Structures are given as C-alpha cells and as structure tokens.
Structure 1
Amino acid sequence: MPGDFKGSIIFYSILACPNCMKAKKLLKELNVPYTEVRLDQFPEIRNEVLQRSQMLTVPQIYFNAKLVGGNEDLQRLVKDPAAWEEALNDIRENPMPKDGPIVPDACQAISEADFFNIQCEPDEYFALVTQMKTDKVVRTHGSFLRSHKNAFSGQDLLTWVQKKKELDKERGMEIGQALLDNNLANPLLNKGSSFQGGTELYLLNECDDSVVLNSGPLSECAPKSAIQLGELLRRMVLKLYSVYLSEAGKFQAKDYTSMAACAEFTTYTRIARELTRVDIKSALRDEKIAFFINIYSALFFHTYILKGPPTNMFRRYKFFNNSKYIIGGYPYSLQDIVNGVLRANRRGSGQISAPFGSKDPRLEIALEKNEPLIHFGLVRATKNCSPIKTFSPEKIFTELKLAATAYLESSEGCQIDTKNKSIKLSSIFKWYKVDFCSNDKELLAFIADYMVQGRKLADLNMLRCTGDYKLSYLTYDWSITCNT
C-alpha cells in the first residue's frame, strides 16, 4: 500500500485518449490516487501545460512538480523498484510546491451537458417549405422512366407565391434564392447557385438513401455555422470514442449494435442531421480545414459503427467511397473530403481523375491550395493511422504541427538507422508525395522542419548532410484499428 500522501500526482489528459486509459488503469491497480485534469474541459491552460512539459502528447503525469512523462514513462518507472519507491516517497513526504503544475477550479470546467444542449432557432423558410409540400408545389416530377421526388420548378414556386402569398414576382424570386442560400434546395442539374424562376427543377435537400448516413427529413433549425457544428460533432465523436475505450486503452469495436443503440449515438445522429444545411460557403480557409478534418473523423466513426471495419481492399474502397454525408446541400464521401476539399481537388491514390469536375458545385468549397499537414490529422482505419484528435479553427495549424511532430517522432512515421545509413518513412509520404515536395531532398527537409530537437533529428540531418543514405518506405499496416 502506498500510504498517505502529503503531495499529489497530477494527471493531464483529454477525452478519448487510449494511453491515458492505460496509465490510469496502472495507477488504480497500484492503489495510487491521482488528480486528473482534462485539457479539453480546461482549454485555457493548454499553452501553460505545454510550456511546462515541452511534451506534445498526453498523458502528462507529475509526481508533485516532477514530470514523470507519459504512459510508457510511467510503465518504465513502475518496473524499476528503486526509482518507483523514490517517486512515492517524494509525494509521501513533501507537499505540492506553490509553483507546481496547474490544477484549475472544477467549477470552471466546460460542461458537456450544457455544450450538447443544442438550441434550435426556428427557420421561417423551413415553415415555407412545409406549406409548399402541403399545397403540392413540392411533388414528384418526371415520367415513369425517370422521376424526381421532392422537387419543384421555379415557375411553380413563383405562381404559388403570387397566388397563395399574394406577393409579387420580385419577392418570389427572393424567396426562391433564399431557399438555395439556406441549403433547403439545390438545382437539379447543379447549374449555378442562382434561382431562375423558369421550368428548371429544384430538389429539396432531403433523402432516404442508405448511402447518406445523415439522410432524412429536412432540419427545421436555421443553418448553423461550420465552426459551431464542426465543434459539436467533434466533441460527440470523442464522447462516443471514450465510451467504448477499455481500461487497457483500446477501442472496443466488437459490439456495433450496442454502440449504435446508445444514447450518445442518438445525440450524435441528431447533430449530424444539421450538416445538411450547414453554412460552409462563408467559412474561411482555416475554418474549412478544421471543419472538414473534424467532419472526416465524424463520418469515419459513423461509418465504422454502422458497417464495421473494412477487412480487405475492396471493403476499404467501399468504406471510403460509398458512405456519405450531405454537407451544405451536397454529398461528400471520405474520399471527397480528403482529395476533393482538403487536397484542393487532387486525384487520390487509385483514382483516374480529380473528385470534382469543372461544373461540380463542391469545387467552390474546395481549398484553393493544398494543405500537406492535413495528413497528420486524418483517421485511416489502420494501426498506423493518427488517433482522433482535437482541431479548432483558431489553432488549427499549431495543432496540426504538433500532430505532425508527434507522428514523425513515432516509429510508424519515421525510422532513422545511421549504422545502415537508412531512412524509412511512412507510406503516406509516398502516396501523397506531391503534397509535400517535388523530390526526395525537399521531402526530408519538410520532415526535418517538423521534428523536435533531439537524437532522431540530429541523425536525420547527419545523413542528409552526407547525402549517403537509402530512402525507403515502411509497409503500411492495414490491420484494424488505431488503439495506441
């Protein structure tokens, strides 16, 4: 038994952190009390915690003011009886110093219950669409060979507005445009974003297609911003992820039925429905990057829960191409998000052409310039992939740079062997080389820029300087899933 402590153990963590779970399990088994501080609940102390530890990952475990490190550091400490006893004696005999690690007031924590209590602002245009349905302005158009459900023509809308609402044509045109701007409807043939008022058809943004995971009736709430909705979904994904983490810190994905039936998933699907009308067109570049990385994780997790993990190449293809979300009125698959939006409409591995054609309205949403750092924030359903992380539009590049550094410090991202003059990189750098550089020298320079000062960087720079090295790529581990 450890005995009474004058000092304390401070344990910095975040929601859905596998290594945090492993470290906490060990401390519990040893009957050692600790104070956990979740950085996602106290975001205002993140910078100070980082400056104190100079660590890019969690957990960060302190015995009084002494930093033990992360999960692996704790495991090593426990296996050394003399060092472990010395650490325990420090907190048995000495109180926490005044300049010790921060422990914020629990009352200041962000309440998850309050955060997920989503306010629905009534939308006058949704009420208008409801009336259009009642009066059969919205109906099935076409013949038995080809029909379109939940459609209306511009001409029918203008006629209805003038007769039913007793408004003039000019006001009718404004209403038609408002239906498009509020992502309630889109032109059938995707011909621009202006309401015409002729015989052309417009489709309501609702469907019952099983491929569209957030399909269903239109949301009656006014469109939310990309920042607000992206943050809601990101937090809900992390909440779900944490519910199914084992004490060993592994993601338990065996019982998909129970996961899909849990209360957290019900809340999640309700939030995902709001994506159909989200305002993404007005988002800035940083906001788009954070939003689409977060939505990528959300769609990935949603697909994973409903369909299970992809176990071979064919199923991986279907996993990344066939499940979709309607976002701002248009469908996006995982591939569309990565290659179409985040890679600035570049052809992906195994793709014949770019995802979005020249007349595709989603091209307006795509980044104008590719962002290579997105690869360090994406989940790819493998043991080699990045775990689900926190990304915010205000600090997106700081967070992505930290993710890049942590990945390159791992053996999955980069391996340096000076004895054999070997540099081995993740296959991500081979598949998406065009995103990072134009040649091997530029690639290694990019990698060096994102590595922390230390032995690994020194070894890399030494090999780069001599030019005498062999560059190769690690075999990508496609086995399921990320659990470290």
Structure 2
Amino acid sequence: MEEFESSSLGRVTVYSIQGCPHCVQAKAILGGLGVPVCDVDVGKHPELRARVKELTGRSSVPQIFFNNIHVGGNDDLQKMAPEELQRLVNVVKKEPLPADAPPLPEENPTESPSGETDGAAELSLLLRELILKLFSEHLSADGKSVDYKGMSGDPAFERYCELAIQLQRVELLSLSREEKLAFFINIYNALVIHGNLRLGAPTNMLQRYKFFNYVSYLIGGELFTLQDIENGVLRGNRRGMAQLLRPFSKTDPRLQVALPDAEPLIHFALNCGAKGCPPIKTYTPKDIDSQLRTAAEAFLENDDSCLVDSGKREVRLSQIFKWYKADFGGTDEKLLKWVLDHMGDSPKKSSLQDVISAGKTKVIFLPYDWSTNGTH
C-alpha cells in the first residue's frame, strides 16, 4: 500500500493559512487519503491569493484541488459522498498532474533561517511563523481551542521566547504605515498567546484589565503593553475600555509610533484569547488593507458577529462594535453604513440593505463570549 501511495502521479493542493481551524480539519481528512498533499500557506505567499480567487471565485480558505479539480472548502470536503471522494483519490493516484494544475509558490532562496535581524517587519514575520506553527500544532480536533499546556512544552516555544527578546533592538520609526499595521497586529496576537502561556488565561473582568495593562514586550527600547499596542498605536492613541486617559501623553516617545488615526479594520484582526474574538491569521505589509478587509468580511458573515432580522428590523452585532463605536462613526446610523460597506456580497448584505432602506433600524449588541480559547 505504501509503495502505491508514493507512486501517485498527481497531487492534492490545499491553499490555507496557518492557525485556521477549517484548514486544520481539512488537512486532517486529506492526510488520511494516502495521496500526496501539497499545503500552500497563502499567508506566507500573498502573491497567490489573487490567483486562487481567480480560479475559485472565493477568497476564503482552505481551497482544495485534486489535480486540477476544484473541490471547494472544508465544508464541501466534509459533505462529499465517500464514492465521489474515492473517485478523486483515484484521479490523483492514476493521472499525472495536468498543465493547468493550480500554482505552487516559487522557491525563495533568500530566506534566512537564522532569525538574526534588526528589521521589525522581518522579525515580526519570524515570530509570527513560530507562534502560528505552535498554534496550529496544538489546536483541538475541532479547531476551536488551543492546548496551551502542550504548547508551552514544545521546544519551538523556547525558540519563540528567544526571538521575542530581539524586539528590543528593532527600529520602529522607520516602519511605513503598512509595515506598522502588520507588525503590531502580529505582535499583539503573539503577545496574547505568550501571556496566556506564562500567566494563564484571565477569567474575570479584573484579571482581564490587569492582563491587558501589564502583559508587555520591550520593543525598540520602549515598553508596550497589549493596551498600548491596541489603543495607543493601532487606534491612533484613543482611550480604550475602562481607560480615563489616552495611552500616550504628549511627551511620551511612543506617541511617534502611533498611527495618525484609528484604523477600524484592526478590530477584525486582533485576537484577545477569547472565543468571541476573530480568528488568528498572519498579516503581511503587502496588501495589508485588502487582508484586513477580507478579515472584516469573514467576521461579518459569521452569525455570531452579525445577524440581520428583517421581520423585526433588527441588526444584532458583536460587542466589538459597541466598545469601539467611535471608530465606526460614533452613531448607530454611521455604524450600520460602515458594516454594509464592509460586507462581502451575500444574502445577508442584501437583507441589511433592505432593513436600512426601510428606516428605523434597531441595533442590538450580542453577548460576548469571554471564555478562553484554551483547553482545560
């Protein structure tokens, strides 16, 4: 059997993102089929995103191909009849890869495995790859929770901690807006995981307040807490929840690093370690705005984050929109317009358009799931 498997003429190609639960589930199924599976991380190879969307008409991951036959995503794979799946496995085993097979990334010989770097953007990606490698390897079978205990015993976590120390040497003032967005989003998500591993997950409001105000990295010679990164840097130095003052005073050197204005799309990229948060993904400076927009579309398509009730003329939204309403325009009317403008084309978007057009829309904020995404 082993010999037959290794002599397969074709391949299965999966376009995925590290840390994506649906990708983990799909790859677990494909790994048991006895055919070569080529996993392409579009987080590391953003140049392939547009090509995959062109081939599939979708921007979500995973996207799965048996030779050049597009199967779809994780749900499509799971719903497939066993005989149809077996037929596709036989295609991969017996038919050579056709000329129009989905593309693989070009080899990049310039990548340095040493990790010794002064570049903030480069170090951010190295850290991100390590923490996401840990994250994806320690996800539960359903992809919804993380085995933090198992992760803390992984040698890759020690390597991550060594790399994190290098953050104190990076030069932040040289970063462009796009590099700054990707760097601080990646660092925030990694720092939350690091904080969870070292201190355990906060379980009540007081613990959460302490966690976000004390868990920190020394970056470029200055201390940045999670609160400083989110509200100081990424929200253009705006007050956060339960904050009386802006994070940075006028004389604070960290103010030079802050974005000039709040960037609302960061709220769909930052993961605070709770089940109500958006999923963890890799962000790169190139096309960062389009990556963030895709994250917002995915968040709004989820009924746990946005629900439209045409009969009651109600729109139910994640608490994130209540907490940071100022970033989305400050009023219900402007908030609904922002949500509509950032949804992907879908039946839900049409329903929202109809409800808004009818007038007198009621906005309700859904309960937030603060329970940890860690296994107990």
The TM-score with structure 2 as length reference comes to 0.88
Question: What per-residue deviation string (whole Å, max 9, x for no partner) do you get for residues 390-412 of structure 1?
Answer: 11122211111111111111122
Tell me whether 93-102 or 428-437 shows the greater mean CA deviation.
93-102
Out of 111, 116, 120, the position equivalent to 1:119 is 116
Aligned to 1:101: 102
Q: Match for residue 24 of structure 1? A: 27
- 1:407 and 2:310 matched: no
Structure-1-length-normalised TM-score? 0.70
**Residue of structure 2 in register with 1:472 after alignment:** 364
Partner of 2:221: 329
Unaligned 5+ segments in structure 1 are 121-223
2:137 corresponds in structure 1 to 243
CA contact (8 A) 2:10 2:91 kept: yes
The equivalent of 2:74 in structure 1 is 71
> Identity of counterpart residues, as a percentage?
42
- How many residues are aligned here? 371
Change in Cα spacing, 1:263 to 1:419, as seen in structure 2 (3 Å) is: same
Alpha carbons of structure 1 residues 74 and 307: separation in structure 2 relative to 1, 3 Å = same
Q: Let me know the Cα RMSD of the aligned residues.
A: 2.8
Give yes or no for contact 1:13–1:37 (8 Å, CA) kept in 2: yes
**Shift of residue 95, structure 1, vs aligned partner:** 5.8
Alignment deviations for residues 370-406 of structure 1 (CA, whole Å, 9 cap, x no partner): 1111111101111121222111122211111111111
Q: Which amino acid aligns with 1:101?
A: P
Distance 1:297 1:249 in 2: 17
Is 1:376 matched up with 2:235?
Answer: no
* Equivalent pair of 1:20/1:58 in contact (CA under 8 Å): yes
Letter in 2 for 1:226: A
CA distance in 1, matches of 2:310, 2:293: 26
CA contact (8 A) 1:41 1:109 kept: no
* Superimposed CA distance per residue, residues 211-237 of structure 1 (whole angstroms, 9 cap, x where no aligned partner): xxxxxxxxxxxxx23222222222222
2:277 aligns with: 385
Matched, 1:229 2:229: no
* 1:245 alignment partner AA: L
Local SS of the residue matching 1:37: strand
Given that 2:10 and 2:36 are in contact with CA atoms closer than 8 Å, whether structure 1 keeps it comes out as no
Higher RCO (Cα < 8 Å, 6 or more apart): 2
Amino acid at match of 2:73: G
Moved over 6 A (4+): 3-6
Indicate how the Cα distance of structure 1 residues 329 and 319 shifts in structure 2: closer, same or farther if over 3 A, else same.
Answer: same
Which structure 2 residues correspond to residues 32-71 of structure 1 after superposition, within 5 A?
A: 34-71=37-74
Gaps of 5+ in 2: none
What is the one-letter code of the residue matched to 1:417? Answer: D
Of structures 1 and 2, the larger Rg is shown by: 1
Are the counterparts in 1 of residues 35 and 92 from structure 2 also a CA contact under 8 Å? no
Quickly say closer, same or farther: Cα 1:115–1:50, change in 2 above 3 A: farther
Q: Provide closer, same or farther for how the CA distance between residues 469 and 96 of structure 1 changes in structure 2, counting only shifts above 3 A.
A: farther
Q: Does 1:358 align with 2:250?
A: yes
- SS of the aligned residue for 1:394 comes to coil
Equivalent positions of 1:150-165 (< 5 A) are: none
